[in-house]
Each structure stands twice: as C-alpha cells, then as structure tokens.
Structure 1
Amino acid sequence: MVKRGVKRWPGLWAVALASLTLAPVAQAASADVRLRLARKPVRAALIDLALQAEVSLGGNLDACRGESPAIVGRMSLEAALARMLAQSGCGFEILDRRTIMVRRARAASESARLPAPTAAPVRHPEAHATIGEVVITAQRYPNLPGRTPAAISALASQALSHDRASSLADIGFQVAGLTTTNLGPGRDKILLRGLSDGAFTGLTQSIVALYLDEVPVTYNAPDPDLRLADIERVEVMRGPQGTLYGGGAIGGVVRLATRKPDLDTMSAEVLAGGSVTGGGGAGGELEGVVNLPLVTGKLALRAVGYRERSAGYIDNPALGLNNVNTSDRNGARLSLRAVLSPAWQATAVVNHQSLRNRDTQYGVSRLGPMTRDNAVREPHDNSFDQGSLTVTGDGRWGRVTGSVSRLGHDFSSRYDATARAGLFGQAAGPAVFDDARQTDLTVGEITYAMPTGRRFHGLVGGFLSSTQTRQKSTLAPYPAGGASYAESRVDDIREAAVYGEGTWELPWNFSATLGLRWFDYRYDISSDLIQGAKARAFKGHGDENGFSPKVLLSYAPSASLLAYLQLSEGYRPGGFNTGGRLDGGPPPSRYEADQLWNYEAGIKLRAFDERLRLRAALFFAQWRSIQSDQYRPDGLGYTVNVGDGDNDGLEVEADWRASERLDLRFALLLNRPDVSRLSLDQTAAENAGLAGISSGSANFTADYHRPLAWGPTLRLRAQVAHTGGARLSLDETAGRRMDSYTTTALSAALEGGRWTLTAYVDNPFDSHANTFAFGNPFAPRADEAITPQRPRTAGFRLQARF
C-alpha cells in the first residue's frame, strides 16, 4: 500500500520527508514578526499589524487617536505595539500568542504586561475570557468582522484545525446558512442563506463565488472541493456582492486565504491521520508543509502537499462490489513571496489538485440507503490547476492590489443511462452517459483603496476576464459501441467591469456607503450535435451590460455596537441551450439574465467584557427570472428561467466564552423561500418553495479545554447541526423530498507546544437520513434515490510542527 502511494504521489512524500529532515535544524518558534506598516491612523495600523502577524484583535480600537509611525522590520509584537500606541491614548495586553487586546490607556495601565515575548502570557483577570477577531479582506481592504457592516463570518486556521475541516462542507458546523449539496466530492454546489437555483450544476453561472486569495476559481463548475490545507482563514460574505465581485456572487462570496511564506523562519508541519467507516472501508490522510526563507527578510518559498483517501460505504451487489464510492484527493501548492520595497511585495502561487471518485454515493429506497443495483459504475474525475501573481502596495497614500490568474478546471462524470437508452434509438443493454467539461479562465483585476480613518474613504477597481468552456457529452452502449447521441459545445465568455465604493463618516456616529459596478458581458456559443444519422449545428452570440448598485447606512454609537441597513443587487448573464434529442423537441433555446435584490437590516454586538459576540440580520430577497438547471424526462439537462422567487429570514451567529475553559458557538438560519411567479411552461408542487432549500438550519459547538498537570492541554469538542427538509426541484411530478437531518461529531485532543493528537467520531449515532434525494437523471422515476450520511466514522489525527 505504501509503495503504491509513493509511486502515485512522490511529491507529497518528499514534502513529508523534508519536514522530518528539517526538524533538528528548524528555528524555535518565536514571537517576533516581520512587519511592513505604513504611517497611517492608529486603528488602520492595528488592523494591518493583526493581518501581517496572523493574530486576533479585541478591545476598543476606535478609542486610539492620531497616527502610528511607519514600522518596518522584524521585532516582537510588544515592541511594535508600544511604538504604535505611544501617542494614541491606548494601551494593550497580549493575552496569548494569538490574541491582542487594545484598551484605553487608563484601563491598560492597570493590567500586566508580558515580561518577554517568549514567556508564558500573564492574563489579567478582567480579560482572560476575551474573544479576539481575525482580520478579513473580503471587502477588498482589511477590517474586523465585528466592525464591518455586512453579514460576514470568518474562521481562522486554529478554528479550522479544531474542526478538522478539510473541505467547505466541514465548516457548516460553524457558519450560519452555509450548505452544500451532497452529490459527492467535486460535484457539489455551495449555497448560502437559503438561496438556490436548483441542486444541479449545468450552464448557469454559480450563485456563490469561490475565491482563492484574490482570484476566482469557478465560473459554472461545481465546487472543486479544494482541501483546506495550510489555509490562514475562510471568509464567508452573504447576500449579493455584485458591486465588488460581479456576476456569480448573487448568493454571496466564499474566500479561502492561504498562509503566505514566512520571510524569516525555516519551519515544517506534518499531519497524518486514519479512519474507519462503519460498514465501509478505511481512509487516511497525509499532509506536509515546508517554509524556506531563500533570502532572509526578502524572499521565501512555501510548499504544501497532501494525499487523502475517503472510505466508501455504498454497495452494488449487481456488480458484486462493496464500498464502491471510495474517493482520492491529491494536491500541492507552491507559494513564492518577494519583498520588492518597504511598501511593495509580490506573491506567486501555483496550485494543483486531482480528485477521483470511483462511484457516486447514493442508494435506492427499495434496496436500502447503502445499496443500489446500477448496471455500470458512475465515476467522477476532477482536476484543478491554477497559477496567480499578486502585487500589493501599502503606504500612507492607500493600498493597491493587482492580480493576474490562469485557471484550468477539468471534470468528467459518468451516469448509468440504461433506463433511458431506448429513447435515443439504442438497443436494449447497458448504456452510459459521459459528460466531460474543460474550463480555462484568465482573470486580471486591480483595486485601489483609499486610506481609512478619514471622513471619506473608499476604493475603485477594474476587472477583466476571459473564459472558455468546452463540453463533450455522449450516450453510448457499455462497455463498447458507437455513440447514439453526442454533442460538442464551446462557450467563449468575456467580461469587463469597473467599480467603486465610497464611505462618508457622518455626524452622530453614522456612516453612509454608496457602491456601483458597470459590467459588460459578451458570449459566443457554438455546438455540434449528432444523433444517429441526424445532426444539428448552432451558433449564438449575446452582449449584456448594465449597473449593479449598493447602498449602506450604518450606525456605531459605541465600540461594542454596530447597526446597519443595506440594499444590494446581484446578477448573472443569460445564455443558450443547445442540447436535446433531435426527435424529442428542443428545450427553449435561450435563457435570460436573472437579478436579485437584497434588503437587509443587521446588528453586531460585543458584551460582557467581550466574552460575547453576536451577529443578527433580517433579510428579504427578491429574485427575478431565476435561472435554474433542470433535467428533461430523457435525462438530458437544460437551463430555463423558472420564474420569480422571494426569500425572507433571520440569521444569527453568537460566540460566548462562558469561562476560561469553555467556548460556545451557536448559529441559526430561519427562512421562507417561495416561488412568487412561475413561467408559463413550468409546474410546481404546492408550497414547494425554492428548489433545494430548507426552511431553516441550526448548529451548535461546545469546546472545553484545560491544561493538564503534565504539560499538554486537553480539548473536548461536541458539535451538532440540524438541516430542515426541502424539495429537490419545483417539478410537481419529480419534486422528490429531502429529509430533515441532524449531523453530530465528537472529538478529544491533546495539544502540546509542537504537536496535537486528536481522536474523533463523526455521526456517532449512525444516522442514515436522506441528505439529498437526487441520484441519477437517467434512473427510473420509480427508483427513489437516497443519499445517506456517511456512517459512523472513527479516526485519529496527529499534527507536528517543527
């Protein structure tokens, strides 16, 4: 087994071996950090410091007056903070190596300081239960989530590690309203805040934009399911983000911020783990990170590699196979960071990931949730390659960020088409439908953000992208034979946009923000379709342009309270359908652009000496001409404007540090998705709501941690998440129902200074609830599909840092 792994992925083992080799010579962990802080208002400088030092901030930043001097070089956090706050009227406490508390000078003078950066932190009794905030950049400039008038959540690397989060589906325990469909790794759609255009991925642009650092990584593809390896933080911004992010952000933005190379310290990390799934097989994971300064303080390289296997648990007795849905995920990332001057730096990143599912993960109700009898297997392959270059400049004059990126995303799926092969003129016998897509995306973007801390501040930006997608679909006998149906399609899509936002600081603690984006989409589609002796060719062109606005009014009467009202808009361009049987009547050839307006009122509160953080939002969304990917009775997909829909609801997130040893987190989404108007050619079940969306979800996490007498910290963690039931589609006859279900996880960890050992049990009650009612578009309608939760899985993880 090991020999085969070495042969298939030697690069990962090289990273792991290098990590172990570096262990004796790697420098000891140091509290010193390298900073590049321009002269600017103290509040903005504090946020920049937290971003560069990868620490959390708490306290009253708004109480700090004046400007911080420019700070450049390597030094301790204590020395940097002392210089920064010397004339500001504020003081600070370093609560631990990840959290800084800023207070008015009088309060700070009553607290203890650390005797030295490497000494154990001295905690003040009033502050020991404070919760810090991780800095975010999703709004194109650094800020803290609690000070940002928007529905934003952020999970830092430490939280991801505690959650054992390896993909976006794993962060649902921590984030309100984030769900993914459960088709399987590399096939899922990301959904936010009760907005869904359907459960399937077809021609429509994704409704949630996924970003890796500064660049987009999807267009109309499913989530590539990138492993959250060496990720600094995950940022989730809800509601349409058309002004800053354009089309494809109609439901929100999820941004993965990778850890940048450390310019000074050689280091390495290794993660290894194994698991066993009840009634299934064994899984495992191996991940390695190496950081290597090439020119101290000027140039550094960071390498990440990983290999992962998820055990299968679905059986197919018709083929004599058990645990058919085993999947493998392998990948690597290289980052090169260079300091060009005290104000400018550049980062080049190359990513690769390959994901292979040997089969889909659904059963059929007549055989049980873990069993099906397909005539052929349904594998899925997903390959992701991306390279980017980002240049940033930061000075008293503001912040400039420019990036260029090239992405290649190829994925292919096979479906058992035996039940529908006769409709395509094929003789009886097994048949397969193969769908292969290739996406090449080139993006360039530049933004300029004005200095904050002034009466007026804002940003402007420009965006260019060129996308080509190539799709080849065939239906043919299995295992061999000529295709009875085949289509080759090419989409060329170009987008240009300029945008800006401006914020005015008004009297009485009010501020107003106006944003506007002008966009221009142009797309050319060509298709060649063959069915038997017949053929059809198609060419189409579209050009759409317009404006996407945003209006925001916020009120911050104190450092611990923020309220806001927001109006924002999102959009997606239209397109053409080209597939469909030549003897079955084509679907509507064109689908139009859709548009979503979001009305939102929110509040953010910090209380009990910052032991409690609360975010709540009331929202109402009006979605017009909803684009939705659907399937015809013969199993072929198409896109249609199904009509108009509304969704209103309440969203709540709360973090409470109940004591120095107990942290609690709660998240809730209550919403009422509804179809207010159907297109004339659509039918809907009564009270169907929007397809694929439940009326609510909730999750709860309890984290207990205490130091043990012999050194390490014991951490016990329990998580529960509940998702309400939903209808898979609007169709009155095929609108299959998805069950409500509850997901649970338990873990226990020992955390030392340089190592963490974790044991866990996922789905300890072994629930088999139907999380997704879709199986195969070509399956008989009588075969009700069941996509069960992964059975009870027990495992361990060992992480070591050198």
Structure 2
Amino acid sequence: MKIRRTVLACSLAAISAQVFAESDKIEVVTVTAQKRKEDPNKVAMSISAISGNALQSQQVDDFTDLTRAIPNISFTAATGNGGAGPGTSNIEIRGISSAAGQATVGIYLGDVSLTVGNLYTMGTVEPKFFDIDRVEVLRGPQATLYGASSMGGTIKFVPNEPDLKEREISAFAEAAATRGGSASFSTNVVGNFPLVTNELALRIGVQAQRAGGFIDQVDGEGKVLAGDINKIDDQEVRVALKWAPTRDLTITPSVYYQRVDAKDIAAFSLDRPRYQAQKQVREPSIDKLLTPNVAVNWDLGGADLTSSTSYFQRKFDRQQNGSAYNSYSLSTFLTSTEDGGKAPPELIEAIAGLPSTVYLNNAVRQVSQEFRLASKPYDAARSPWTWLGGLYFSNQHTNLNENDPIHGVTETFKKFGFSIDDPELLPDAYPGAFPNDNSFAGEFHYREKQSSIFGEVNYYFSPTLHATVGARYLKGKSNLAQRNSNYLAGAGNNSSTELSSHAFTPKYAVTWEATPDHTFYTSVAKGFRLGGSNVFVPPTTCGPDLEENGLSEGPATYAPDSLWSYEVGSKSRFLGGRVAVNADVFYVKWKNIQQGVYLPTCAYTYNANAGNATSKGFEFDIKAKPMAGLTLSAAGGYVKAELANDEGSSNGVLGAVKGAQVQGVPKYNGTVTAQYNFSTAGGRSAFIMGGVQWVGSSKGSLNPESTDYNRPSYHTTNFSAGITLDRFQLTAFIKNAFDEDKVIQHPQVASIVQGYRLAPRSIGVSVAAKF
C-alpha cells in the first residue's frame, strides 16, 4: 500500500510539474498564413497573431485599436471620404499607403476576401471582433497566396469553427461610461451544439453593441442642436455548420452578417470648443455586410484538397455634408452685379449659405472560388519536397449612386426674382439643370474580374534548412460605366472605360531552423495592384485645374503599380519557452504609385500613376514570463517611407517631391503590456493588466500647406483587472486612462477641415460566462 501511494504521489508530482512548465511557456497562436496550420515561428515572414481572448482582455474593439497594438500598421480617417466614420478609413502596412487607387492591404474573413477599392465614397471593410479565434497580420507583399491588393500585407480574421465534440454556451456583457459622452454597451451569446457526435455540429452566435457618442452638433452661435451625435449601433449574427461524413472529409457552410448604424461621424470643428461640430447637415451611415461561404476540406491521402466558395455583399449608404463645396461652388459661378453681371451680392451670399446633402449609396457584391491542393507537412522519411497549388476566380460588382441636392436653391432664386435656369445669371444653366434642387446626379458601375493560378514549392536540403519558391500569375479586367447629370456635372457625361491587367508575382525565401527554438529567414517577394478607371471630371467646372496639370480632360484610367520587398528576420524562444523574441528588417521599392490628384477649384479628384517610393524599417515582438503568473510583452516598429523622385509633383500631386514622407504613415508605433495572474486568498483566479501604446508623428498629406500635413505623436494607456467566480469572470477596465485628446488627424473635404481625436476616457465593467 505504501508503494502504491509513493508511485501515485510521484506521478501526480510529475504531472503537476509538466502542467506548471507548460503554463510558464509563452502562448503560441497557430496561424494559417501559408494556407495551412503552422507554428508562426516556422514561417518565413513577419506575422503578428492575436487570439480572440487577448483581443477582449486588451480592449481591442476595432481597426483603430488594432493598428495601435501591432507594429507598423496605421489607419487614416476617411482620406477624401468626408469624415471619420466607420467604414471610411484606409489601412496601411509598412508605409504602403492605400489612400488612392486600389487597396494595398488585403482583408479576409476566413477564406473570404473582403478587399474593396479605395473609392471616394467608402473605405476598408471592417469586420467586428465577434466569435473570432484570432486575427493574423501578415506583413509584406502576400501576392503569391493572396493575390493583388496585398502589397503592404494581409489582415485575416479567423472565426471559431464548430466543435464536433463539446457542447458549450458562452455569454458576454459589457457596459462603460465615456467622459463627457453617452454610455456604451455590448452583449453577445454564442452556442456550440454537437448534433451528431464527431460528425455534425452547429455553432451560432448573436451580438449587439453601442459605442457611446461624445461630439455635439452646434449652430453658428454655439447652441447645441443635438448631443453625442457620433453614437454607433451594430448587430452581428454568425451561423456555421460543420459536417464530417467521413474521417477524411469535412464540409463547413457558414454565414456572417453585420449591420453598423453610425448616427454621425467622429469629426469636430477646429474653430469650436473640443468635441463640438458646427454643421448644417448630419452625416449618418448604415453599413451592411453579408458573407456566406462553403468550405470543403478533403484528405486525399497523399495531399489535402480545399475548396472555398464565397459570396460577399456590402451595402453602405451614407450622407455627407456637402454645403461647403456644392452650395459655395454654385455661388462662385454666379455673375455678380459688381462685375457687370445680374446676381446681386445678397443672392450670392444666400446661395453660399444653403445646406446641401451628398447622398451616397454604395453596393458591392462578389462571387469567388478558390481551389487548393497541398502536400502533407514535411517528413524526411517521405520526401524532401512539400508544395501547394491553387486556382482562384472572382467577379466583383460595385455600384455607386450619388445625389447632391442643395436644399431650397430653386426657391432662393425665386425669392430674389430670378430663374435658376437663366444663363445670363448662372453661366451654362439650362432648363432642368436642378431637378428637385439636385445639383449633381451620378451613377457608377464598376466591374472587376480576376483569375489566377498560384503555387509554392519547398525543398528541404536538410530537416533544418529549406528554400521556398512561389509564384502567382494573375489576369484582371475592370471596367467602369458611368452617367453624370445636372448642373455641377457640367455638360453631363455618359461613358464607359475598360482596362486589362496581368502580373507575375514571384516569391523566394530561405528558412534555417538553427535549433528547435531558433529560426532565421530571408525573403524576396513582389507585390502588385490592379489598375482602374476614373470618375468623370467635368471640364466645364474643372477646366482651370486640369490645364494647370497639362490636361484638357481627366484621364480615363490609371495603370497598375508594383513593388519588390526584401526582408531578413529571426524568431527565437529562450529559457524553455519562457521568452520569445521575433525581429525583422525590411526594404521596399515601390514603382509607378497610384496617387490621388485633387482639383481644388471644383473639389474633384482623379487617380494617376505618379512617381516611385522606398520604405524601410524594422519590427520586433518580445514576450516573457519571468515568474509564475507574470507575462510581459513589448512590440514596436519603425518605418521610413519616402518618395524617390519628383514625378508626382509634375503630374499635379502637390508636395509629391523626392524625399517627401508618404502620407498616413507614422514613423513608429509601439506597445508595452504586463499581466499578472494570481489566486486570491479564497482560491479564486484573478488578474491585473496594464498597457501603454505609442504612435509616432506622421504626415497626413504630401502638401506642406495642408492643415493635415503634420500629425503629432500620441499615446494611450489602458488598465484592467478581473476575477473568476465559478462559471463567471468579472472584469473592470479603464480605456484611455489619462484621457489623451490630441488632434491626431484632420479629415478634409473641399474647404472643410475637421479634427479627429481619440475617444475620451471610458470606464467600464464586463462579465463573461461559459455553460
């Protein structure tokens, strides 16, 4: 009996030591960066992966938070899109700015591409962090496996999959108060239900949230017309069914839906007290996203076949305050009596002061299909080769309808005894130029088709040294059919343009696992961005600006651009996995950049290819567990992205000269966090956590005369603490604890220059439970 007890005690001690040792190791978040599940330490690229639990505990709620938590990612609030509302921002990685032309960062939800072009009416698709297993940020061009528009990198939102074995229901609720604003809340429920054990499971989740507002709308006298106007409501639903009819085959249909209802944008007037916006017209939006997908994974024995059939639909309806450029522009066209015309100054002043709304109705839909065939992971006993090959097809339609009424314009002319269609009063006026006071009507239909063949091959010279060669051949065809009418469209336009593009994007890499804990790599890869078509620029109203750029009319299309990226990095673990250090340096040569050319007289913009740029820098990520329960982490990056010649300036891009800093790219960003897990006197699990995030200075524009030219550096600080009570975890948190409120960006449309600040300090509590 004594011997049995001794053996049992030794066994329990060994198990406890093993569990303790495992808990002391840094968490490894498995990634699918190379279209197969892998340890990120064995992948020859710079990757940041954050688990869904870490996103929640660090109060990473949206894209802007993500850019502060991960090195060398940045966002620009609504470049040319009229404010700082959800769904209008652009994302940049490693200095490859996405402000004009096609996107430079690929956005994926699972295997579904959500990448859209940078139209003046909408920005990057922003999936909510709901029922997410992890977010992967893949830096550097990912053209080989992810295609065009992944020049700077790719961001993947990887959802949780249905579990065929375990039944589980989780619930979460959160409430917070914002200083000087309204309350915020979030609640969700997710259930996982095995319907047939090991064969069929259903996962379903719902979420509802409100982000409190903190900006007040005021009139010219400072009177508050509406409070906390920038509230945002959103709802999400995700349903996934996993069926494994055999051990070798799984079929997973899923659908994700979200609706984001923003009551207004988060920009304020620079000439008013902070968090006040003087505007005649509110700027709400509703952004709907629907992404059905059917994923098939089939183990063929010697290889794995994957099929992803996807449909992506986005409907984004928004309003924009167009008073400054529609009403004011119209007033400048009137022939004043002081200059020998017919319009009295009082009429001109009245027209300039009228409110105008820009109604923008965007709809994107895409059908895509990808097939991949991948070899089994490397096995020295089987073969020195591993490989992956695939085919990809997509067909994307984007419809944009724009209407710009100047409210009361017809009656205002009548009030002063004039007709709005009098050409002696308003040059080039004609009957019917302002139907229902609408000054501009535009219909734009974009269509983009892509087809690609891609693959990668790895050859292992030894179990610790292998080389990778990959390539993608892509053919793209895009066209734009557009129709513009009413007075501000000039003589009107009904036209179509078409552009074909193709690219060969290779990748080369060498990976050396010097020891099981130390990996070194180097890679060379090409990135590519499709060309596209421009919105018609009316020569009647934009003629002077076009002439200054040496043009008689706006260019119909713009060409593709491309870059080469060179990277060297290392990924190491020390002290038995208690310390992890990843670091890399990179150099990028970017040619024929797609840039926006702004025409100040008529407030139009067209895209052109203008000049070259270079981007160079580094990233690092350090995590350590120096003692039981304590986790420390530090991550940061530096990037120097500059134009390499003056070609952009000669093409009409103000400030686009050699040495100019690429817009929207902070010189550095970094974050430091510390978390301590411990047990209370009553045996409860608890934690405390704090973190600081820094973002360096940047240029919001190439033009030194722009109000947004100098963007300051800033930092935020977050704290949280929690305790587990049986099935429940209670957490209290403070976000932006020291209430950092610098004006960090100046979104601008025409002559309207606005300010964008961080959300004020918020204090809240949350409860999470699993059943």
Classify the TM-score, shorter chain: 0.7 to 0.9
Check 1:133–1:112 CA distance in 2 against 1; reply closer, same or farther (3 A cut). Answer: farther
Equivalence map 1:320-719=2 (5 Å): 320-394=225-299, 396-422=301-327, 425=330, 427-428=351-352, 429-454=354-379, 455-478=384-407, 481-507=436-462, 509-532=464-487, 534-583=491-540, 584-585=542-543, 586-629=553-596, 631-633=598-600, 634-677=602-645, 678-679=647-648, 680-681=650-651, 682-684=653-655, 687-719=659-691
Partner of 2:414: none
Deviation at 1:483, TM superposition (A): 1.5
Q: Secondary structure at the match of 2:241?
A: strand
2:52 to 147, 157, 162: 157
Check 1:396–1:662 CA distance in 2 against 1; reply closer, same or farther (3 A cut). Answer: same
Aligned partner of 2:396: which letter? T
Question: Which range moves more in the overlay, 475-484 or 234-243?
Answer: 475-484
Check 1:113–1:656 CA distance in 2 against 1; reply closer, same or farther (3 A cut). Answer: farther
Tell me which stretches of 4 or more aligned residues in structure 1 moved more than 6 Å: 111-116
Deviation at 1:631, TM superposition (A): 4.0
Aligned partner of 1:612: which letter? V
1:335-387 Cα offsets, whole Å, 9 max, x none, are 11100211010101111111011111112222133112111111122110110
Task: Give the Cα separation in 2 of the matches to 1:505 and 1:438.
Answer: 47
Residues 468 and 491 in structure 1, CA contact (< 8 A), matched pair in contact too: yes
Check 1:112–1:306 CA distance in 2 against 1; reply closer, same or farther (3 A cut). Answer: farther
Partner of 1:731: 703
2:719 to 727, 739, 746: 746
Check 1:765–1:452 CA distance in 2 against 1; reply closer, same or farther (3 A cut). Answer: same
Q: Secondary structure at the match of 1:547?
A: strand
Partner of 1:99: none
Partner of 1:757: 730
Residues 369 and 768 in structure 1, CA contact (< 8 A), matched pair in contact too: no
Task: Give the Cα separation in 2 of the matches to 1:325 and 1:467.
Answer: 31
Q: Secondary structure at the match of 1:372?
A: strand
Gaps of 5+ in 2: 1-6, 78-83, 332-350, 410-435, 544-552
Length-normalised TM-score, structure 2: 0.85
Partner of 2:65: 170
Question: Which range moves more in the overlay, 633-642 or 499-508?
Answer: 633-642
Residues 305 and 331 in structure 1, CA contact (< 8 A), matched pair in contact too: yes
Q: Secondary structure at the match of 1:579?
A: coil
Residues 662 and 703 in structure 1, CA contact (< 8 A), matched pair in contact too: yes
Deviation at 1:187, TM superposition (A): 2.0
Q: Secondary structure at the match of 1:158?
A: helix
Task: Give the Cα separation in 1 of the matches to 2:607 and 2:126.
Answer: 24
Deviation at 1:753, TM superposition (A): 5.0
Check 1:508–1:326 CA distance in 2 against 1; reply closer, same or farther (3 A cut). Answer: closer
1:770 aligns with 2:718: no
Deviation at 1:121, TM superposition (A): 5.4
Deviation at 1:330, TM superposition (A): 0.8
Deviation at 1:305, TM superposition (A): 0.5
Task: Give the Cα separation in 1 of the matches to 2:688 and 2:241.
Answer: 37
Partner of 2:347: none
Deviation at 1:498, TM superposition (A): 0.3
1:136 aligns with 2:109: no
Residues 417 and 779 in structure 1, CA contact (< 8 A), matched pair in contact too: no
Deviation at 1:312, TM superposition (A): 0.6
Aligned partner of 2:406: which letter? P
1:393-433 Cα offsets, whole Å, 9 max, x none, are 23541221101001111113322121212465363311122
Q: Secondary structure at the match of 1:262?
A: coil
Task: Give the Cα separation in 2 of the matches to 1:112 and 1:412.
Answer: 66
Task: Give the Cα separation in 1 of the matches to 2:603 and 2:177.
Answer: 36
Q: Secondary structure at the match of 1:609?
A: helix
Check 1:720–1:630 CA distance in 2 against 1; reply closer, same or farther (3 A cut). Answer: farther
Partner of 2:692: 720
Partner of 2:91: 190
Task: Give the Cα separation in 2 of the matches to 1:697 and 1:656.
Answer: 20
Partner of 2:416: none
1:210 aligns with 2:139: no
Residues 74 and 91 in structure 2, CA contact (< 8 A), matched pair in contact too: yes
Check 1:419–1:510 CA distance in 2 against 1; reply closer, same or farther (3 A cut). Answer: same
Residues 493 and 536 in structure 2, CA contact (< 8 A), matched pair in contact too: no
Deviation at 1:709, TM superposition (A): 2.5
1:466-503 Cα offsets, whole Å, 9 max, x none, are 00000112221137943211211111111000011001
Task: Give the Cα separation in 2 of the matches to 1:124 and 1:383.
Answer: 45
Partner of 2:419: none
Partner of 1:234: 135
Task: Give the Cα separation in 2 of the matches to 1:419 and 1:164.
Answer: 37
Task: Give the Cα separation in 2 of the matches to 1:256 and 1:699.
Answer: 21
Check 1:525–1:791 CA distance in 2 against 1; reply closer, same or farther (3 A cut). Answer: same
Deviation at 1:580, TM superposition (A): 2.8
Task: Give the Cα separation in 1 of the matches to 2:72 and 2:571.
Answer: 17
Question: Which range moves more in the overlay, 290-299 or 280-289?
Answer: 290-299
Q: Secondary structure at the match of 1:484?
A: strand
Length-normalised TM-score, structure 1: 0.82
* Same amino acid, percent of matched pairs: 24
Residues 190 and 205 in structure 2, CA contact (< 8 A), matched pair in contact too: yes
Task: Give the Cα separation in 2 of the matches to 1:498 and 1:594.
Answer: 20
Residues 699 and 720 in structure 1, CA contact (< 8 A), matched pair in contact too: yes
Residues 462 and 499 in structure 1, CA contact (< 8 A), matched pair in contact too: yes
Task: Give the Cα separation in 1 of the matches to 2:495 and 2:10.
Answer: 74
Deviation at 1:178, TM superposition (A): 2.4
- Count the aligned residue pairs: 682
Aligned partner of 2:529: which letter? R
Deviation at 1:708, TM superposition (A): 1.3
Aligned partner of 2:400: which letter? Q
Aligned partner of 2:139: which letter? R
Question: Which range moves more in the overlay, 704-713 or 179-188?
Answer: 179-188
Which has the greater radius of gyration? Answer: 2
Partner of 1:222: 123
Partner of 2:423: none
Partner of 1:83: none
Task: Give the Cα separation in 2 of the matches to 1:625 and 1:452.
Answer: 39
Task: Give the Cα separation in 2 of the matches to 1:296 and 1:128.
Answer: 30
Q: Secondary structure at the match of 1:146?
A: helix
